[in-house]
Chains A and B, each alone.
Chain A
């Protein structure tokens, strides 16, 4: 068993372990922190898979942006120290069963399928290639999705502002 393999299993265990903790813990702030660790673990996995660019993007956007956003919203809406409510009776059991069923189904499909690689060339990720292909207008270019995504981000910004905007008089009362 080479080092790479052992490393992979450690990273995988870390991801899944912190993931499980994130969805089961009763304290909300801890849940956010476990999520943070899980995302960092995924970045580590990307590093292990030698797609460094994606790992960097993951850390910057997910860890540095989204999790921080989540933590801010936790502070805005409730006391972070207290315990959250328990899930409904029976809900845990049913969800567990459903999820395990789904897991076995998908795993069966994965392990039974034969994944044949088309070519034997090793994979190399060149950031320059990403940039060129992103902006190219040829058949495999991603210029259109790129532009659309930028509009989407604009719309999301405006939308978030509009939805969350306060009507002045009412809000001062609620926040007090």
Chain B
């Protein structure tokens, strides 16, 4: 455990974060965008746990953050799916390029 410095774990989580960002920018399908957002949230979770483990061993705050993040991510995914389904009903497509009503 001690052989892997904190920075390596942080690098992994950062890379995962940006992978998720790439997916968010690039994907046209709303559900795949949601999947990318889940990746981002997970990377943040890894960050919290790693910090807690390496820098603040006698406290548990990072763990709690991770727990709450997981909870809220679940709630958010549920609401997002509901919105996507609603949007699908009006546009008959979940291509995000088709939902451009906010254009000038």
Q: State the A residues within 8 Å of B (CB).
A: 1-2, 4-5, 8, 12, 15-16, 19-20, 22-24, 28, 31-32, 35, 38-39, 42, 45-46, 49-51, 53-54, 57-58, 61-62, 65-66, 69-70, 72-74, 76-78, 84-88, 91-92, 94-96, 98-100, 102-103, 106-107, 110-111, 115-119, 121-125, 129-130, 133-134, 140, 142, 145, 149, 152-153, 156-157, 159-161, 163-164, 171, 174
Interface string of B3-38 (1 = CB under 8 A from A): 111111111101110111111011111011011101
Give chain B nearest CB distance to A7 CB in angstroms: 10
Chain B residues within an 8 Å CB radius of A102: 18, 21
Chain A residues within an 8 Å CB radius of B6: 115
The reply to whether A61 and B8 contact each other, CB–CB distance below 8 Å, is no
The reply to whether B89 and A174 contact each other, CB–CB distance below 8 Å, is yes
Q: State the B residues within 8 Å of A (CB).
A: 1, 3-12, 14-16, 18-23, 25-29, 31-32, 34-36, 38-39, 42, 45-46, 49-50, 52-61, 63-64, 66-68, 70-79, 81-86, 88-89, 92, 94-95, 97
Chain A residues within an 8 Å CB radius of B49: 46, 49, 51, 54
Interface pairs (28), CB distance under 8 Å: A2-B3, A8-B8, A16-B19, A19-B39, A22-B39, A38-B42, A54-B49, A66-B73, A69-B77, A70-B81, A72-B81, A73-B81, A73-B84, A73-B85, A78-B94, A95-B25, A99-B18, A100-B18, A117-B57, A121-B58, A125-B63, A133-B60, A140-B59, A149-B68, A152-B71, A153-B75, A156-B75, A164-B82
Chain A residues within an 8 Å CB radius of B88: 76-77
Give chain B nearest CB distance to A45 CB in angstroms: 7
**Residue in A closest to B57 when the chains form the complex, CB atoms:** A123
The reply to whether B15 and A95 contact each other, CB–CB distance below 8 Å, is no
Given contacts A2-B3, A49-B9, A49-B50, 4 further A-B contacts (CB under 8 A): A50-B53, A58-B45, A87-B27, A99-B25
